[in-house]
Amino acid sequence: MKATRREFVQWAVASGITLGVSRIGAGQAAATPPGFTARETLPGRGKWTPELGRIDGVAKATGAKLYASDFRAADLPGWPSETSHALLVRCADATHIYEGFDLARLSKIARPAVVVTADDVKHAKIRVPAFYEGDLFCPAGKTPTYLGQPVALLIFEKFDAFDQARLALRDGQFLRFGKETGPVEGSNYGAFRFTRVAGPTPDDPDVYSPMQAGWISPGFLESSGRPIWKPLPVAKGGDYVKGATFGEEIRKGLASKDAGLLVLDREFETQSVDPMFLEPECGLAWYDTSSQKLETVLGVQSPFETTESLAFLLGEASPGFKPKVIDAQFAYVGGGFGGRDHTPFPLYVTLAGMFYPGHAVRLAHDRFQQFQGGIKRHAFKMRSKIGIDRTTGKITAFAADHVLDGGGMMNYSPSVATVGATGALGIYDVPKVDVTTVAMHTRGVTAGSMRGYGTLQTMTALETLIDEVACALPMDPIEFRRRNALPPGGRIMTGHAFSVSTRTKEILSKLEKHPIWSRRAAEKRQAKPGFLVGTGVAIATKDYGSGADCSLGRVEISPEGRISIHSDAVEMGNGIGTALVNRVALHLGGRADEVTVAQVDAFDALELVKTGDPFTMAQAAQDEGEKNPRWVPEISSPTSASIGAHVGTQAAAEAARILYRFGLWPAAIALWGIAPNDPRTKQSDEAYWQDDILIMTGLDPLPLKKIAAKAHAMKVVTGVMAHAFSRWAWAQATFAIHGESWTADIDALAVRYGSDGFTRLSRSSVAFPPTDYNRIGVAFSSRCGTLVRVEIERATGKLRIAKAYSALECGQALVPEVVVGQSQGGFAMGVGYALLETLPPFEEGPGNGQWNLGQYRIARGSDLPLHDLEIEVLPPLPKEPPKGMAEVVMIPVVPALLNAIFDATGHRFRSLPVTQTMIKDALA
Amino acid sequence: MKIDWRLLAIVITLTLIGIVRSPAAAADKPAAASDPNTLASPKSFASIADPQKRSIAYFTELSKVLTHQRCVNCHPSGESPRQGDSRRLHQPLVVRGVDGYGRENMRCGTCHTNANFEQGRIPGNPHWHLAPAEMAWEGKTPAEICRQIKDPKRNGNRSLNDLIDHIGKDSLVGWAWNPGYGRKPAPGTQQQAGELVEAWAKSGAACPQ
Amino acid sequence: MTTLALTINGRAYGPIEVRDDLTMNDFLREYLGMTGTKYGCGAAQCLSCAVIVDRPDGTSHTNPTCIVPASSFNGKTIRTIEGHAKNGELTILQKTFIEHFAFQCGYCTPGFLNEGQVLLERLEKSPVAHADLDITIGEALDGHLCRCTGYVKYHEAVRAAVLTEPTRFLKDSAQ
């Protein structure tokens, strides 16, 4: 559902800009400061690093320059020595005509060297990438589209001037507004209906499903922009009428007065929240007029998308605004949680650089501005109806309507709406489903990607509803879940089955046997006087992957046996660098000491091309594209959607496999003196690594160093670069390597022999997943269940989480400590979302520029059961690959807390967050 | 006695309402009391003949200051101060500590320097600290605060004269009228508040019921 | 303008004239390029910007830098995250932070490391009972915000640092 992207290489050639060609490499002379890439390559060749820990551990524990916010021009070889500073002026009004600003206010203090407004951008012929459609700056004479919309960029030569100006301008009186117009109306960002009617038995095909019929959208009521869900004649095409007719039938069934059917009809509301990553967005840009090269330093989750967007932004610009070369460099990220995936911030950093040529310009949000301008989580209003056969205790039908507040720009709104809707059934098996969803435009701050991505909202509504159903039947809540759990191979709402393990029942058994659950009645009875005790349970499933996920990986070994890895995946705390090291070590024995992440320009040898949007592409276009052996549906994708382990490490892992098989293995054979016709030459899978020693029964153990030296001497494969693509299944291709046929889950490959350069190998055949897999919605998913016990003080409503337990499955954990750490972090973020965090909409909300962490409370240590939080990660199934888990661990925490609060107080809260005051009032 | 007191309270209340709503109100008349941002001067209460009622009227006017967030935030009912015009709990969480200046690892003066620091939007004063627990005003009515403020056990062992100085001249109290960016100042001026305390103290320091 | 001279990580800086409205955070990050000390909220609410101030009496405390004037540090001695390791040798706490996977994105780490270090030094002077260790760590770290980790591993890492030499930090280490 992403905005259409233009063809990458074709465009770059057409516009005459070369992207990301130069690197300030690790090979800098010792006298100059280390270059950007050298600083970002960890742990660093020859540097001491503890046996345990992350590859970025030492750098992060010693304050090394690592994040985009750490760099100034003076830190970058070749850059100007001074850094200039830009101030992005945002408006706190979206209901009056913006009339301009008065720079005279700065007369006594610093004046900016350059002012950039909507007019300047227009004159320079700057184009806005489709994903960020709208005015980059609100032009004078127009009402701002949303609160926090930028109106100007002020660039100051010196820090002191900037620092004084930001103090002088912060009171909101700088901008002039005229006539009241009310908010700017806009049509909604997308409306979809997911309807499925199962066949009479699970073995029968569905009567109707989105997988069969395609995804459907209704027509719109023109006056309000709200969709009409009834199958009225204005609908777009006949497809909608067919699906909607099944949907209305399901709703009729839920409205019938059948005494054997328990029907609950409930509303639930969730709030807007901020990802609140600790490092506010920032970046550096320098346009060198003599070489006409633009260099940037940024920290985003989507480096490739950013690079493309910058190239589009300037691609048709007037002379002086169109660089010949853009070198976008991407740093370690101080937290992302989705909020740095497809953010418009890099566009403004780039403009700051282009409009002050010859100067290195830094643009950085302070926290007030990050609240005002950063991507938010969508607030949802939901109404859900569920029908349960009282005799069997089985869910017979489910219908829901979701309305999302998308804020001022579309961003990921349509995608969040569909992911939320298709996840609205959680782990359950329901034969009749009808879910509508619409993402609305409002004047609020733009909502986009954030951990949980719509399903946090819909599954919270669902899991609290399920708890209520279990109470109403009555039936034990875990037994009810077990009875209704989707079995392996069962179809979800879109009409497709998960293609990975579904271990729901194992998780439910874990929850059931845990003392928090088995002791729940006793603990309630033994509550201290004046306190209420309650226990809650919830379980969630969360997709990982987006349906067009890419991986770029490059693995090399030096004659000394040192391993280096390059990847396009972004390190934002997720431990991707360490996961890469561990996954590559499975094949190569040694731990890499040079890992460079967030690189999109280390893979030029693959010469990849693409033609269009992988999400909306027709099968014929894919069939045509794949004829070119360099063609792939997409080149690089954001580090988001919990894909780090599964996708982010895939290309490097496959590259390492090839490096072993066609480099280290032939070298080992030679060292062992095994003749070419000896059957043991074919037994590369029989050998194994013990640390960096290769063991083969009956032969001398070989140290990696010795093998590597031999491989280089023999000029066999010593470096491999690969690309992988997943659309709910890996693309698979066959290559001829060293005269042997090699088939793997990659679609592009280049190899290096000895110390030569990389050579691209054309695939001899390829199978891309069919384009109609885009209808699946989700095929990869992990499970997590949570138990919490809360203690509530009756008089004050103060809640304490006494104990908590989460059980999850994620296939093979590449870095088990990071998996546990992410689970603990997900728990904390869940607690914040359930009990603490909230951003009111519109003028009172973050768009007014006055929000900071004083009003916006995230969980701190004392809000959490630090010594009573147990995480259990199920061991992987045999040969199970890694699965994504960073989002699923947050989701059940929220409904489990609400269910525990009900158990304690007898009150069901149907909006978030549930604050102390709300609990106190409910108990009064 | 019981009945008398209650009647008196009703009379006072009615009187005050009458004064507040008086159409004859001018700038220095108690009518200004309806404006939460200003303080009426003591002489504007001269028309109240009954000294006790007048004393109560002084205090009622003063209570606009005493119940204002600038004062209450640091006279909290619990162990932690409140913050901002919304009176949210202070973030990061700090506590009074044994001397009112915070716990050993988080002293008030660590962040609150000698004066407001506008770049950081942070208030400051050389004596920045929390009022002792017995001087908590948060959640209390003017009548309760009045009785408390007269009680040496709950006012820092101050005489009525000391109170005139404390409210009228103390530099930390004075900060309430110069709170810096993003914070609403206490109503009127510190001098006006001091005059009201003085007038109240000298008229018998009567308390509203 | 005010004259500022101070000692950072054992090295003298200044005297230098600084604006009265310059924050200590900007002094470190923009003037000195010492970006190990982070900017997180600019309001002393996340404490990722906290540095260690060493008092003349030998005690130390952490101090946020984003909301205080640089000039208020005149004559002071401070330590930042860049100054903990000596000659490439990491401190106990840096090692336990790494070995316990205490941080993820690492942006709040400077504040936690400084706070943890001050706690260790305080415990060395006035040890607590083993039974009070968790609550002592909890109180010391509670002002610091982290969005990635849920704090558990930070606490584990500080605890582990204390327990590497229990006789140094605890009253009843024999137990």
Note whether residue B115 is domain-resident. no
How many cross-chain Cβ pairs, A to B, lie less than 8 Å apart? Answer: 18
Residue A891 backbone phi and psi in degrees, to 5: -65, -55
How far off is chain A from C129, nearest CA to CA, in Å? 18
Band (pLDDT 50/70/90 cuts) for residue C173 is low
How far off is chain C from B169, nearest CA to CA, in Å? 26
Nearest CB partner across the interface for B110, out of C43, C63, C144: C63
CA distance A573 to A336: 8
How far off is chain B from A285, nearest CA to CA, in Å? 26
B182 touches chain C (CB under 8 A): no
Band (pLDDT 50/70/90 cuts) for residue A25 is very low
- Predicted pLDDT of residue B8: 43
Q: What distance separates the 2 farthest-apart alpha carbons in chain B?
A: 58
Strands (E), A676-798: 688-690, 693-695, 702-703, 717-726, 732-737, 740-744, 748-753, 758-761, 763-767, 781-793
For residues A298 and A409, the answer to whether their CB atoms sit within 8 Å is no
How far off is chain A from C82, nearest CA to CA, in Å? 5
C33: nearest CA partner in chain A: A72
The two three-digit tokens of residue C69, written as one number: 């004037």
User: Which structural domains are found in chain A, ordered by start?
Assistant: 9-19+74-182+281-366 (3.90.1170.50), 498-544+780-924 (3.30.365.10), 549-775 (3.30.365.10)
Question: One digit per residue, pLDDT tens: chain B, 209 residues?
Answer: 344 444 444 444 444 444 433 333 334 444 444 688 899 999 999 999 999 999 999 999 999 999 999 999 999 999 999 999 999 999 888 999 999 999 888 899 999 999 999 999 999 999 999 999 999 999 999 999 999 999 999 998 999 999 999 999 999 999 999 999 999 999 999 999 999 999 999 999 999 98
Check A366 against C42: CB less than 8 A apart.
yes
pLDDT digits (tens, 9 = 90+) for A175-222: 999 999 999 998 899 899 999 999 999 899 999 999 888 888 887 554
Check A167 against B91: CB less than 8 A apart.
no
Check C67 against B110: CB less than 8 A apart.
no
C50 touches chain A (CB under 8 A): no
Contacts of A160 in chain C (CB under 8 A): 19, 22
- Predicted pLDDT of residue A612: 86
159-188 of A, contacting C, C-beta below 8 A: 159-160, 163-164, 167
pLDDT digits (tens, 9 = 90+) for A608-638: 999 988 988 899 999 999 999 999 999 999 9
CA distance A875 to A872: 9
The two three-digit tokens of residue A425, written as one number: 């059934």
For residues A367 and A166, the answer to whether their CB atoms sit within 8 Å is no
pLDDT digits (tens, 9 = 90+) for B120-142: 999 999 999 999 999 999 999 99
Contacts of A579 in chain C (CB under 8 A): none
For residues A784 and A763, the answer to whether their CB atoms sit within 8 Å is no
A90-119 average pLDDT score: 91
- Predicted pLDDT of residue C161: 98
Contacts of B118 in chain C (CB under 8 A): 21
Band (pLDDT 50/70/90 cuts) for residue A52 is confident
Contacts of A853 in chain B (CB under 8 A): 91
Mean model confidence pLDDT for chain C: 96
Into how many domains does chain B fold? 1
3-state SS class at A11: helix
Alpha helices in A443-588 (DSSP H): 455-472, 477-484, 504-513, 515-518, 520-525, 576-588
Check A63 against C35: CB less than 8 A apart.
yes
List the CATH code of the domain at C2-83: 3.10.20.30
A173 touches chain B (CB under 8 A): no
Nearest to B111 by CA among B90, B87, B137: B90
Is the pLDDT at A719 greater than 70, yes or no?
Answer: yes
For residues A55 and A49, the answer to whether their CB atoms sit within 8 Å is yes
For residues A129 and A309, the answer to whether their CB atoms sit within 8 Å is yes
Contacts of A853 in chain C (CB under 8 A): 41, 43, 45-46, 145
Strands A325-330 and A293-298: parallel
Check B118 against A854: CB less than 8 A apart.
no
Contacts of B92 in chain A (CB under 8 A): 860
Compute the C-alpha angle A272/A275/A279, nearest 5°.
145
Is the pLDDT at C14 greater than 80, yes or no?
Answer: yes
Q: What residue type is A474 in one-letter code?
A: P
- Predicted pLDDT of residue A220: 58
67-106 of B, contacting C, C-beta below 8 A: 91-94, 103-106
Note whether residue B108 is domain-resident. no
Distances (CA, A) of A434 to A195, A196, A246, A264, A420: 4, 7, 8, 15, 13
839-858 of A, contacting C, C-beta below 8 A: 852-854, 858
How far off is chain B from C46, nearest CA to CA, in Å? 7
Helix (H) or strand (E) holding A710: helix A704-714
How far off is chain C from B175, nearest CA to CA, in Å? 18
Partners of A537 in the beta sheet?
A787
3-state SS class at A460: helix
Instruction: Note down the domain range covering B24.
Output: 2-72+134-202
Question: A94: which DSSP letter?
Answer: S
pLDDT digits (tens, 9 = 90+) for C33-67: 999 999 999 999 999 999 999 999 999 999 999 99
So what's the ipTM on this one?
0.98
Contacts of B121 in chain C (CB under 8 A): 42-43, 67
pLDDT digits (tens, 9 = 90+) for A238-280: 578 899 999 999 999 999 999 999 999 999 999 999 999 999 9
C101-126 average pLDDT score: 98
C134 touches chain A (CB under 8 A): yes
- Predicted pLDDT of residue A107: 64
Per the model's pLDDT, the better-predicted residue between A437 and C88 turns out to be A437
Q: Residue A880 burial (CB < 10 Å; 0-12/13-18/19+)?
A: middle
A544-557 average pLDDT score: 95
A883-910 average pLDDT score: 98
What's the pTM?
0.94
C21 touches chain A (CB under 8 A): yes
Tokens 């660089």, located at residue: A323
Question: A877: which DSSP letter?
Answer: P
Mutate which of A167, A276, A367, A837 to test chain B, going by most B C-beta atoms within 10 A?
A: A167
- Predicted pLDDT of residue A231: 57
Band (pLDDT 50/70/90 cuts) for residue A230 is low
3-state SS class at A668: helix
Mean model confidence pLDDT for chain A: 93
Question: How far apart are the two ends of chain B, measured CA to CA in Å?
Answer: 14
Band (pLDDT 50/70/90 cuts) for residue A772 is confident
Chain centroid to CA B194: 10
Alpha helices in chain B (DSSP H): 2-21, 51-66, 69-72, 108-111, 142-150, 160-169, 171-174, 190-202
Is the pLDDT at A716 greater than 70, yes or no?
Answer: yes
The two three-digit tokens of residue A550, written as one number: 């890419």
Distances (CA, A) of A614 to A329, A546, A633, A731: 25, 11, 5, 13
Band (pLDDT 50/70/90 cuts) for residue A135 is very high
The CATH 3.10.20.30 portion of chain C extends over 2-83
Nearest to A567 by CA among A587, A585, A584, A546: A584
Fold of C92-169: DNA polymerase; domain 1 (1.10.150)
Nearest to A295 by CA among A336, A341, A331, A332: A331
Tokens 């060493």, located at residue: C54
C90 touches chain A (CB under 8 A): yes
Residue C52 backbone phi and psi in degrees, to 5: -95, 130
C105: nearest CA partner in chain A: A573
Note whether residue B6 is domain-resident. yes
Strands (E), chain C: 2-8, 11-18, 51-54, 60-63, 77-79
CA distance A780 to A501: 9
